[in-house]
Amino acid sequence: MSKITELASSRLNNSDALLIILSQPDDMPHSVIVHWPAMPTVIDPKAFSAAADAAVRTFAAAVKFAQIRRGW
């Protein structure tokens, strides 16, 4: 049975989000999938630091992925 694990997600603004998942299909190699917004994300300059922080925290999922991978 295939397994999907959400590694991290964050909202960049009211409509856009980042999502990083680990896909572990039974019949294919495992992969990390990054779901990006389909269109450019518009952020108020006053909110940019919060959006940048959210994006950086989301990509810190690499640490979580490394922890999961140790168990393979």
pLDDT digit string, tens, across residues 10-68: 999 989 999 988 898 999 998 888 999 999 999 999 999 999 999 998 888 777 777 77
Overall pTM > 0.85: no
At 18 the three-state DSSP class reads: strand
> What residues contact residue 58 under an 8 Å CB cut-off, 6+ apart?
8, 9, 10, 18, 20
Amino acid 64: pLDDT: 73
Report residue 70's pLDDT band, with 50, 70 and 90 as the boundaries: confident
Instruction: Tell me which residue range forms the domain holding 57.
Output: 3-39+48-70
Domain count, the chain: 1
